[in-house]
């Protein structure tokens, strides 16, 4: 099968399309999927570049895992004997390491049936980013109806889902993004929008119960004055450790405001929940561009630029 692999850390050009061995069902709870689409996330370029925290897991001098990718949508080709949720021919989506390949073999516990009203492209945009936003708001911040929520980086992959989910949970949503993205982010459900190129939200005197930094550009300390007395600041880029240890240690010592760092935990329960919102037309992925697999280098450049509008998708197999 074809896959995008990298054998050394470096720029996007280290990626190449190669023929590799087809995965097989080695465990009874796994599902073989013919991949239709996958997405490109910050995770992918951080691992590809060999960012220090990722090297501790993936190899100090060269990568142990050669195929990147976290999100998948596709068709079930075979199932293990203990798989009870899926059958051959089902259209599924979910979380799967190594999804930048024609076939993957994840466990059934990180998959769900595709939303009935979603395309393969839309389904592939959901898993990592939407689960990250959902768990941050619902589980970490314990969002409540009527709370004021600010999403920093609201036009990105995580951010645009967070805007929709915060609105779904009944909060007052303020979205921070660039000038060109203000209107479409407001159309997603934001009550208020702030153009970060013209205004720093921390200077406007408003208080928020939850501040979700979806792009890892702010710190707890820069947001403290904008949090309510029991407010929660959450950073969604735990791979960036520059300020996190200090924030996590100091925040409990200086009041009731909290700093949290979050990484998503893929699971079928949350995927089923997101599928339901999609089918009820309460959640919709925004896809900026879809690249064929042989343009994986261009896709990485796009995402690494930090100016992605919604999600960037890969087309792995056609039809």
pLDDT digits (tens, 9 = 90+) for 29-63: 999 999 999 999 999 999 999 988 889 889 999 99
**The pair of three-digit structure tokens given for residue 257, joined into one six-digit string:** 């405001």
Residue 267 covered by a domain: no
Question: For position 33, which CATH number holds?
Answer: 3.90.180.10
Q: Are residues 18 and 119 in the same domain?
A: yes
| CATH code, 167 | 3.40.50.720
Count: domains in the chain: 2
Instruction: Compute the Cα dihedral for 43, 47, 52, 55 and give only its sign.
Output: positive
86/19 same-domain check: yes
Q: Check pLDDT > 60 for residue 262.
A: yes
Task: Provide the pLDDT for residue 221.
Answer: 81
207 and 89, same structural domain?
A: no
pLDDT at 219: 80
Asked whether residue 134 falls in the same domain as residue 116, the answer is: no
Whether residue 122 sits in one domain with residue 137: no
92 forms beta bridges with 74, 113
Claim to verify: residue 157 and residue 234 sit in the same structural domain: yes
220 within domain boundaries: yes
- Where does residue 54 rank: exposed (0-12), middle (13-18), buried (19+ CB within 10 A)? middle
Q: Is the pLDDT confidence value at 243 over 50?
A: no
Say yes or no to pLDDT of 215 above 90: no
**Residue 38 shares a structural domain with residue 12:** yes
Tell whether 218 is covered by a domain.
yes
Expressed as residue numbers, the domain containing 160 is 129-261
293 occurs within a structural domain? yes
Are residues 147 and 114 part of one domain?
Answer: no
Amino acid 236: pLDDT: 76
pLDDT at residue 224 in the model: 87
| 276 domain-assigned | no
39 and 99 inside one domain? yes
| 18 lies in the same domain as 96 | yes
Domain annotation covers residue 73: yes
User: Of 245, 261, 277, which closes a domain?
Assistant: 261
Q: 127-134 and 268-279 helices cross at what angle (nearest 10)? A: 100
Residue 271 domain-assigned (yes or no): no
273: helix, coil or strand? helix
CA distance 267 to 95: 8
Say yes or no: 27 and 16 in one domain. yes
236, 133: one domain: yes
CA distance 109 to 284: 23
- Show Cβ contacts of residue 110 under 8 Å, excluding neighbours closer than 6 positions: 94, 95, 96, 266, 267, 268, 271
**Can you tell me the distance from the alpha carbon of 196 to that of 280, in angstroms, rounded to the nearest whole number?**
32
**Residue 114 DSSP code:** P
The mean pLDDT of 83-107, rounded to a whole number, is 96
Report yes or no: 101 and 4 within 8 Å, Cβ to Cβ.
yes
280 is a domain residue:
no
pLDDT above 60 for 253: no
Percent of the chain with pLDDT over 70: 93
| Residue pair 257/231 in contact by the 8 Å Cβ criterion | yes
């Amino acid at each position: 099968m074809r896959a995008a692999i990298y054998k050394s850390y470096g720029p996007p050009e280290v990626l190449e399309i190669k023929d590799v061995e087809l995965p097989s069902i080695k465990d009874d709870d796994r599902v073989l999927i013919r991949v239709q689409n996958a997405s490109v996330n910050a995770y992918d370029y951080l691992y590809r570049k060999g960012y220090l925290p990722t090297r501790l897991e993936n190899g100090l001098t060269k990568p142990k895992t050669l195929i990147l990718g976290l999100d998948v949508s596709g068709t079930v080709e075979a199932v293990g004997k203990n798989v009870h949720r899926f059958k051959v021919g089902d259209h599924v989506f979910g979380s799967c390491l190594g999804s930048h390949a024609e076939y993957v073999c994840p466990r059934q516990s990180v998959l769900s049936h595709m939303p009935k009203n979603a395309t393969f492209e839309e389904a592939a945009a959901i898993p990592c980013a939407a689960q990250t936003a959902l768990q941050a708001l619902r589980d970490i911040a314990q969002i409540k109806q009527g709370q004021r929520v600010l999403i920093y980086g609201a036009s990105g992959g995580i951010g645009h889902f967070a805007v929709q989910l915060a609105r779904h949970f009944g909060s007052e949503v303020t979205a921070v993004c660039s000038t060109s993205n203000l209107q479409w982010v407001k159309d997603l459900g934001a009550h208020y929008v702030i153009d970060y190129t013209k205004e720093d939200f921390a200077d406007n005197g408003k208080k928020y119960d939850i501040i979700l930094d979806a792009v890892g550009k702010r710190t707890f300390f820069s947001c403290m004055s904008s949090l309510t007395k029991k407010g929660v600041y959450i950073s969604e880029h735990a791979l960036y450790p520059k300020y996190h240890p200090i924030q996590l240690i100091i925040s409990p010592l200086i009041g009731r405001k909290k700093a949290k760092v979050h990484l998503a935990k893929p699971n079928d329960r949350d995927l089923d929940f997101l599928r339901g919102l999609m089918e009820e037309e309460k959640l919709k992925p925004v896809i900026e561009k879809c690249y064929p697999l042989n343009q994986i280098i261009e896709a990485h450049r796009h995402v690494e630029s930090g100016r992605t509008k919604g999600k960037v998708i890969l087309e792995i197999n056609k039809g």
